[in-house]
């Protein structure tokens, strides 16, 4: 089967269903977490967080929110780093799937610095949300281009320091390598199918630069990372 990566696909992922719940959701989120760990995905977000937080005095509490947090795996990794590094962090996980939020709360019982909120990021309640840094890890590709531009400008308004995005490079090579990876390591139909669709919903570097040009008064660092990811760090110019 030929793969067309010239444009972002409009195909829908199973995980886009916010009613997905129970053992099926829990297993899929854990499998996706394992994929991210094996392929180094979460480290990309953590590196981006460090690049901003390390510029702040340790006497200041830094409030970080993860949009599309799933079960909170990224936040727990950041919490561990914050403890080791002596930073006081307030961490908020935001997801529209209330069942994912419940799982995240259970898995984060030993992390009092983490809280969770079940919110629709296109709703009025979320628009009033404020923090220091907003994270968007493997979430941006779920939206259409017009929605992405609106969200990026909203995130920029909501965050005092900046935004860290970690998302997929749309590539035929990435697609084929993920197929091979799943054939050996992943026994989860949802993770396999959604993973392939996610790659086709991912981005080319020029597309990210085009988005960046529409966000005022910010500086941007867009870097390709293994395995076929883009790390995009957005920082305010007026801080």
- Domain span at residue 128 reads 14-236
Rg (the chain; Cα; Å): 17
Share of the chain above pLDDT 70, in %: 93
pLDDT of residue 20: 58
pLDDT of residue 207: 98
In a domain, 6, yes or no: no
Check pLDDT > 90 for residue 185.
Answer: no
- Tell me how many degrees the CA angle 173-175-176 measures, rounded to the nearest 5: 65
In a domain, 146, yes or no: yes
pLDDT of residue 182: 85
In a domain, 145, yes or no: yes
In a domain, 7, yes or no: no
Check pLDDT > 70 for residue 1.
Answer: no
Check pLDDT > 80 for residue 141.
Answer: yes
Q: Which residue has the higher pLDDT, 29 or 56?
A: 56
In a domain, 76, yes or no: yes
In a domain, 128, yes or no: yes
Distance in angstroms (rounded) separating the CA atoms of residues 32 and 155: 25
Average pLDDT, stretch 98-110?
94
User: Could you tell me the CATH number of the domain that includes residue 211?
Assistant: 3.40.50.150
Residue 4 CB coordination number (10 Å): 8
Q: Which residue has the higher pLDDT, 23 or 126?
A: 126
In a domain, 3, yes or no: no
pLDDT of residue 127: 95
Share of the chain above pLDDT 90, in %: 77
Convert 41-75 into a string of H (helix), E (strand) and C (coil).
Answer: HHHHHHHHHHHHHCCCCCCCCEEEEEECCCCCHHH
pLDDT of residue 235: 97
pLDDT of residue 121: 95
Average pLDDT, the chain: 91
Q: If pLDDT is split at 50, 70 and 90, which confidence band does 239 have?
A: low
Domain count, the chain: 1
* Residue (of 93, 159, 143, 136) closest to 231 by Cα position: 136
Peptide bond preceding 6 in cis form (omega within 30 of 0): no
* Cβ 93 vs Cβ 117: under 8 Å: yes
pLDDT of residue 21: 57
Maximal C-alpha separation, the chain: 56
pTM, two decimals, is 0.93
In a domain, 70, yes or no: yes
């Amino acid at each position: 089967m030929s793969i067309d990566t010239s444009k972002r696909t409009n195909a829908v992922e199973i995980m886009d269903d916010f009613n997905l719940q129970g053992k099926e959701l829990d297993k899929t989120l854990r499998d996706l977490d394992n994929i991210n760990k094996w392929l180094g995905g979460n480290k990309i977000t953590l590196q981006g967080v460090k690049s901003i937080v390390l510029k702040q005095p340790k006497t200041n509490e830094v409030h970080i929110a993860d949009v599309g947090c799933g079960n909170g795996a990224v936040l727990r990794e950041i919490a561990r780093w914050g403890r080791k590094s002596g930073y006081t962090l307030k961490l908020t996980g935001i997801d529209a799937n209330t069942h994912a939020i419940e799982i995240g709360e259970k898995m984060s019982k030993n992390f009092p610095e983490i809280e969770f909120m079940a919110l629709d990021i296109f709703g009025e309640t979320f628009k009033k949300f404020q923090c220091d840094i907003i994270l968007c890890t493997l979430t941006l590709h779920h939206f259409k281009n017009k929605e992405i531009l609106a969200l990026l400008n909203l995130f920029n308004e909501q965050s005092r320091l900046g935004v860290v995005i970690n998302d997929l490079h749309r590539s035929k090579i990435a697609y084929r390598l993920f197929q091979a990876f799943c054939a050996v390591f992943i026994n989860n139909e949802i993770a396999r199918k959604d993973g392939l669709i996610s790659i086709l919903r991912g981005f080319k570097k020029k597309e990210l630069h085009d988005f960046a040009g529409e966000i005022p008064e910010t500086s941007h660092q867009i870097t390709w990372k293994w395995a076929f990811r883009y790390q995009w760090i957005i920082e305010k110019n007026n801080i």
